[in-house]
Every structure is written in C-alpha cells, then in structure tokens.
Structure 1
C-alpha cells in the first residue's frame, strides 16, 4: 500500500522543496490555492521522477480541507502531513493573515486528527516571529477558542492586533498567528497521542523564498545581516528538517517547536542582555 504524505502550500517555497525529499519514498499530495503554480510544481516534480497528486484548495475552507484528506486516503495510508501553507504580513490585512495562518492550521490539523491512523505525524510551520513578541502581547488564554468558537477567536485576536496603528497590524497578526501555531502544536500533543499521532511545529527564520523575500525590506533583511549565520536560509535546508520531523526516525518527537533561524533569536537575545547590563 502507498505511504501518503500531504503537503499544504506545496506549489512553491518550502512546500515544493519538501516534496522533492518526501516524494522519494511516499506518494505525495500537493495542496495549494494557486492552480497555475500547482501545475508548474507538478511538472518540476515529474522531471525528478516524482508524480504528485495535485489538489487546488484553500486551507481556510474546512470543507475543502476534508476533500483534500479524502483524496489522500484514497491513495493509500496517510502517514504524514507537512503544513507549510501560510501568508506573510505583506500579503494582506490582519484578518486575512490571522485567518489563513491560525484557522487554516486548525482546519488542517483537525482533519488530520479525524482521518489519520496510528503512527502518523503532522508538522506545522510556525515562524521565528512567534519567538519575538513579548508575552504580555500574546492572549494565550484566548487561543483555545479557535477549536470551539472561531468567530470569537478571530475577534479577540484582531482586538489584540489593534494595540498598534492599522498599518502595522498585519505584522502583529502574523506573529500572533504563528504563536498560535506553536501553542496548538504543543497543547494538542497529549490529545493526538491518544490516537497514536505525533504533532510538531518548526519555526523557520528568513528563508529565501518568494514569500520570504516579500519581507526583506520590512525588517527581515536586517535581521539576517545581524544573525549568527548572516545569510538567508535555503528552502532545501528547511525541507530536510520538515521531512525528518514527519518521518519514522523522529518517532519520539512531539509537542514541541524547533527553531531553525540561523541564530537570529539567539543573537537578538544576547545583544539585548548585553545592552541591559
């Protein structure tokens, strides 16, 4: 029976790079909401001897996500999901960023929980931004609403974003939404383990993708220049980590976040310590 891996945001960037790794020994389902890019991604993979199944769908649409998982389970045994789909601050409003990154994560993960069999794993992509907000700006006590009342969750998150001027709110929404991804991937670990499932998040730094470069002039470029490893990360470097976390060799790994940012947070933390001293 085929071992099936679903990759959301699979038409480019980290998602496509991960498909080239996972596709060596899995049947791959690529999900993205941009049909034109899905076709290009499929041709790229086909040139590498990987024949993916493509699925055009929006992760904020739970019905579409359910159809995605129906497609995947129709191909064989679902063993992993690598959820890279998301948007950056420059791509839309605070509401759009929060809904895509947070509600999209809930939809994909809850469908995985309902569908996958024992031994399967899901890896969620968070961000180093989730390690940067002060704790007092993160309304974690409101995060559980995302599982029971998404409208109330969205209202509370947008209220939290409104502490800054409107033109900065999408940036706060991004950091909050990725903080939610970290929280969810930890808070749900025990529940997922009850069905023999693993759940992990990975927090990339500034990665040299189309989406990553959108933020180059919004602070990402400066952070890269000052990092312990002063360069942009490569999608291929993230792909190897994501594939490992989703694989059988990481069978003891769950409920945690892995920060892979070239030392940005470490450098910022140490500089702040020295400055305060």
Structure 2
C-alpha cells in the first residue's frame, strides 16, 4: 500500500517546493482553491517525475476538506499533512483572513485527527507575525471557541482586531490568526498524542513566494533588512524544514513551533532591549 502525504495550499510556492521533496517518497495529494494554479503545479511536478493527485478544495469548507481526506484514504496510508494553505493581509479583509487561516487550520487538523493512523504527523504553517504581538493583545482564552463555536470565535477575534483603524485590521487579523495556529499546534499535542499522532507548527519569516511578495512594501517584506540574515527566505528552504518535520526523522518533535525567519524576531528583541537598556 502506498504512503500518502496531503499538502494544502499545494499550488503555492511553499506547497509546490515541499511536494518536490515529499513526492520522492510518498504519493502526494495537492489541495488548493485555485484551479488554474493547481494545473500549473501538476505540470511542474510531472516534469520532475512526480505524479500528484490534484484536489480543488477550499480549506474553509469542512465538507470539501473531508473529501480531500477521502481521496487520500483511497490511495494508501496517510503519513502526513503539511498545511501551508493561508492568506496574507493584502489578500482580503480581516474576516476573510481570520476565517481562512484560523478556521481553515481547525478544519484540516480535525479531519486529520479523525482519519490519520498512528505515527502520522501534521505540520501547520504559522508565521513570525505570531511572535510579534504582545501577549496582552492575544485573546488566548477565546481560542478554544474555534473548535466548538466557530461563529462565536469569529465574533470575538474580529472584535479584538478593532483596536486598530479599519485599514490596519487585516494586518492584525493575520497576526492573531497565525497566533491561533501556533497556539493550536501546541495545545492539541497531548490530545493528538493519545492517538499516536504528532502536531507541529513552523513560523516562516519573509519568504520569496507570490504571496510573500504581496507584503513587500509593508508587513513581513519591510522587515527583510532587519533580519540577522538580511534577505528573503527561499521557498526551498522552508520546504526542507516542513518535509523534515512531517517525516519519521522528526518522530520526537511535537507540540512546538519552529521559528524560521532569518533572525528577524531575534534582532528585533535585541534591538529593543539595547534601546531600553543602553550600555
């Protein structure tokens, strides 16, 4: 029986780059809501000798996500899910960003929890933005609502975005939604381990993909020059980490977030400390 890896956001830069690695060992199911980009990803991978299974689906639709896992089950044993699907602040309003990034993560992970056999792993893509908000701005106490009362979760989290002017709300929604992804990937570790499953999140910095470049003039893109490694990260660099985290080589890794941002957060914190306490 084949081993199967599901990659959401499979038509994106990180999704395709990860499929190039994971597809060497596993049958790959690529899921994305952009049909035209899925066709391009399919052609790219086939040129490398990898034949992906393409599924057009939106992660905000629970029924569509269930169908993705049904397809995977027909192909073999599910060994991993690499959840790269998400949107940036430039791609929509606060509601759209929160629903896609936070509730999309719930949909994919809960489907994984119900379908995956012992030993499988899910890797969620968070963001360095999740490391930037002060703790007092993150309504962690409301985060559990996402699994049981998604409408109430959306209401509470969008209210938390109202601390900034309307034009900035998609940005803070992005940071809060990725803080949720990071939290969920830690909070669910014990529950997932009860079924022999691993759950991890990875927080990229400014990555040179189509979506990443949308923030070139603001947000993550504006921080490239402040990184300890002052350049854009490459999708291939993120893919190597995502593939490793999902593999059996990382079988002791669960319930944590890996920040892979070229040192942006480290530099920002040290500069803030130095400014507050000059020698």
TM-score after normalising by structure 1: 0.99
Aligned to 1:22: 22
- For residues 119 and 159 of structure 2, the distance between their equivalents in structure 1, rounded to whole angstroms, comes to 39
Q: 5+ unaligned residues in a row in structure 1: which ranges? A: none
Counting only pairs closer than 5 Å after superposition, residues 30-179 of structure 1 correspond to structure 2 as 30-179=30-179
Alpha-carbon shift at residue 221 of structure 1 (Å): 3.0
Aligned to 1:194: 194
Give the 3-state SS of the residue equivalent to 1:28 in structure 2: strand
Moved more, 84-93 or 220-229: 220-229
Q: Does structure 1 retain, via aligned residues, the 8 Å contact 2:103–2:150?
A: yes
Aligned to 2:250: 250
- For residues 39 and 89 of structure 2, the distance between their equivalents in structure 1, rounded to whole angstroms, comes to 26
Give the 3-state SS of the residue equivalent to 1:191 in structure 2: helix
- For residues 236 and 221 of structure 2, the distance between their equivalents in structure 1, rounded to whole angstroms, comes to 19
Give the 3-state SS of the residue equivalent to 1:162 in structure 2: helix
Give the 3-state SS of the residue equivalent to 1:157 in structure 2: helix
- For residues 134 and 220 of structure 2, the distance between their equivalents in structure 1, rounded to whole angstroms, comes to 18
1:207-247 per-position Cα deviation (integer Å, ceiling 9, x unaligned): 00000000010133331111100000000000000000000
Aligned to 1:276: 276
Give the 3-state SS of the residue equivalent to 1:55 in structure 2: strand
The answer to whether the aligner puts 1:267 opposite 2:267 as a matched pair is yes
- For residues 118 and 227 of structure 2, the distance between their equivalents in structure 1, rounded to whole angstroms, comes to 40
Alpha-carbon shift at residue 64 of structure 1 (Å): 0.2
Aligned to 1:182: 182
Give the 3-state SS of the residue equivalent to 1:173 in structure 2: helix
4+ runs deviating over 2 angstroms: 219-222
Alpha-carbon shift at residue 270 of structure 1 (Å): 0.2
Q: CA 1:204 to 1:27, structure 2 compared with 1: closer, same or farther past 3 Å?
A: same
Give the 3-state SS of the residue equivalent to 2:236 in structure 1: helix
Give the alignment's Cα RMSD to 1 decimal. 0.5
- For residues 18 and 182 of structure 1, the distance between their equivalents in structure 2, rounded to whole angstroms, comes to 20
Aligned to 2:11: 11
Aligned to 1:220: 220
- For residues 211 and 104 of structure 2, the distance between their equivalents in structure 1, rounded to whole angstroms, comes to 17
Give the 3-state SS of the residue equivalent to 2:80 in structure 1: strand
Q: Does structure 1 retain, via aligned residues, the 8 Å contact 2:212–2:221?
A: no
TM-score after normalising by structure 2: 0.99
